Structure 1
């Protein structure tokens, strides 16, 4: 991005324009605090106009055949991969994650467009055998209408396509609100859809004031569904504000994922997978490990091996290929991590790796990858989502004990189990109260499988055949037959 260049952050009915407010906000690189660009900062007026245009475009778009809609997704998928390096550079510059991770995210984001280009043709209705000889019963799937997609900053590409792919495939039109910290990646993806000829009004983007835009989206009766990824706190607000019009919601909210390392686990694999889960994207991942429970018989060796590897993780600017740990998104994120570490130390925890802020001459928002031991349930880090590079480790003895600990929080997004036992595998996956469970696998998200939590981690699915069903309504038709 060119420093000082201004970008129009509003895309409505096929045109890029300034916000009605006329104001601009700076987007900075979290690693260097360098200003990347300024984008127009939208608000309620812009959102309401976007809703109107999406509503106007819905009839024609939803009446296209599934194969017609899928062609646009195929083309966008191909163009995303063609522009993978450029998109990854934009993503790393505004979000901070290492380029290797950014490239992987672009590939993952594109895969959702491919999957739903294919799934568009597989949204089936049904003919129900009637109980009455004089009736025929049909079920017809139809697009729900205008949807609002609100996406987070930690995965600014894949969270966009996980919502755009199924909604466009189903025949919905979209108003996209990207995170204020990372709008540039979303804008670049929308430009790809523009280049492949997506009809005007089908996809609209409004970057800007989260509260003002969110209020417009929740209060409009023309928005039929809100799909949101973010904190549980904001999810509650969306539910309250959407109640007036009984909107459908699909919410992927906060998590506090446990990793259970059993006595029979492959130790080297468990160490490597735990590190990969916790420190990907500097711990700013909704399904990353938030707490580790390791069996007491292998705890000492596990902690020793893990801590040694964590101390060698290279921190730095994500634009450098050797970087493993990039910056945190902003100063508030660093302060939250600092608070959690200090609280843990106050309640008796010990640091075996990391434990402080890092600068390295870059000036950005960095915190060392940190490992805590001697932790207990009184600590914030064991109860609240840290969303940073801090890994607390607690030991356990009995399987029943660790299951209870893993389930004791109100969150239910993801959990992980490290074991070589088939019996324990089934016992644990059935007992753990989570929507996603990885067994010897910490990267469960994939386009072909349903992704989503339970309890206070939300409801609704993204990915798989289930993902597109969030955006359709099943209409029942009962036909009387005259003989």
Structure 2
């Protein structure tokens, strides 16, 4: 990729060194259009990000087609070396990446550093996986023949990511795609474009052919639509809502693109009577309120056994109340703001509706006081929740823990599986036999027993049902970017 930097639009502040990334260089949108990106902490503009037009996206796709010709023919070991160089640069620029995450999302800097580290891991892992794209030989029925199975890259990839993990989500798509030999046009969320910009700037250290990685930001009609319409794009990958995923599946059908997606979740957490209560509390509170609850795999529906319910609620509420809210750049902050005013209003409505329907607000339940600006909502604990309440039946995607009772294992499994979502599910128990029953009985792509640790580069991440298809991470994540080619060779 070229080292020549083109100036981004004047007055772009934190986005000034960057812009759109097309054909190996940073550049402004062709029309010079920009949009302000607001801080969720101060509600003031962080800067002006470029807004791509349809022509900009088309230029990125054309460059990707040229870059693909060279990159797809690059030996796997050379691709692996490039990904290691990218990971080295990302590690070197950890503070740049983490600070940008916190500026754009408001999440505490410690959480942002962990996220950036997870993104670095993706490039390390897939650098090694690039060397292990195995084929196989099959004996043929034809005399002197042999079947040869190989796995070429699928081609150009369109990657679309959400704002809640603006480093981890692009890395989960970029790293395996590049390892496989694909070219990628990345369209990050318009609410967090800067994190992707820093990552793509790090990718330049890999010395990839120009065009192999492109970045565009802007309106759906000008960024998403051209990617979906272009027959040269052979795969699209999405992290987003179920509604958007359903539309992408319909749009992908026109050009028969390969699709993988991680969509919404509504994870159940079941705490059985034999669980270690302190362990369950110590792990579930920081997990629930990380990133202000804006995490697809976070537990939303808490099923607590009758014998532990009251103690769990008391302990959970006390820990939630002790969490410190504030600017993620400030030391000691545990919980940052919600991403936007709209999200704040939605969470307030969800809680108010549940309370009106008979749920009890144990702690929180209101916009945090003491802030002159920002989208801060108190960590909230609700009890007396019924399964049909929206706070329980739908993903709330905020700092709200909705707690219900149960008494019977079969009953709680049926209730946990009632959601059409199937991303993640969790259980706490000391019984190995029960743990195995949970793994077998919970309908989810990922099941954690006495653990919430799901996101790792070496493990396949993804869901079932309305939570999506395909996997990111592990060897399974690479397979989504490869085709299968069969050759019959006869001499």
Establish whether residue 72 from structure 1 lines up as the match of residue 86 from structure 2: no
What corresponds to 1:461 in structure 2?
Answer: 471
- 1:17-36 Cα offsets, whole Å, 9 max, x none, are 11123211111211111321
Change (3 A) 1:195 1:138: closer
Partner Cα distance (2:55, 2:387) in 1: 46
Partner Cα distance (2:249, 2:53) in 1: 20
SS where residue 264 of structure 2 aligns? Answer: coil
What corresponds to 1:149 in structure 2?
Answer: 159
Unaligned runs of 5+ in 1: none
Establish whether residue 113 from structure 1 lines up as the match of residue 102 from structure 2: no
Shift of 1:133: 3.9
Instruction: Choose which of 96, 99, 105 in structure 2 pairs with 1:89.
Output: 99
What corresponds to 1:301 in structure 2?
Answer: 311
Alignment of 1:119-158 (within 5 A): 119-158=129-168
SS where residue 52 of structure 2 aligns? Answer: coil
Whether the aligned pair in 1 keeps the contact of 2:354 and 2:391 (CA below 8 Å) is: yes
SS where residue 298 of structure 1 aligns? Answer: helix
Partner Cα distance (2:367, 2:282) in 1: 24
Partner Cα distance (1:137, 1:253) in 2: 38
The runs of 4+ residues in structure 1 deviating greater than 6 Å are none
Establish whether residue 237 from structure 1 lines up as the match of residue 247 from structure 2: yes
Instruction: Choose which of 36, 40, 51 in structure 2 pairs with 1:41.
Output: 51
Instruction: Choose which of 353, 356, 364 in structure 1 pairs with 2:366.
Output: 356
Task: Report how many aligned residue pairs link the two structures.
Answer: 481
Change (3 A) 1:211 1:255: farther
TM norm structure 2: 0.96
Instruction: Choose which of 420, 425, 429 in structure 1 pairs with 2:430.
Output: 420
Whether the aligned pair in 2 keeps the contact of 1:351 and 1:372 (CA below 8 Å) is: yes
Partner Cα distance (2:449, 2:139) in 1: 41
Aligned Cα RMSD in Å? 1.4
Partner Cα distance (1:257, 1:10) in 2: 36
Partner Cα distance (1:108, 1:7) in 2: 24
What corresponds to 1:329 in structure 2?
Answer: 339
Whether the aligned pair in 1 keeps the contact of 2:15 and 2:194 (CA below 8 Å) is: no
Whether the aligned pair in 2 keeps the contact of 1:116 and 1:165 (CA below 8 Å) is: yes
Instruction: Choose which of 284, 291, 305 in structure 2 pairs with 1:274.
Output: 284
- 1:179-216 Cα offsets, whole Å, 9 max, x none, are 00000000001111124422211101001113431111
Change (3 A) 1:431 1:5: closer
Change (3 A) 1:183 1:440: same
Whether the aligned pair in 2 keeps the contact of 1:7 and 1:40 (CA below 8 Å) is: no
TM norm structure 1: 0.97
Instruction: Choose which of 193, 200, 224 in structure 2 pairs with 1:214.
Output: 224
* Structure 1 range deviating more: 275-284 or 358-367: 358-367
Partner Cα distance (1:134, 1:5) in 2: 61
What corresponds to 2:4 in structure 1?
Answer: none
What corresponds to 1:477 in structure 2?
Answer: 487
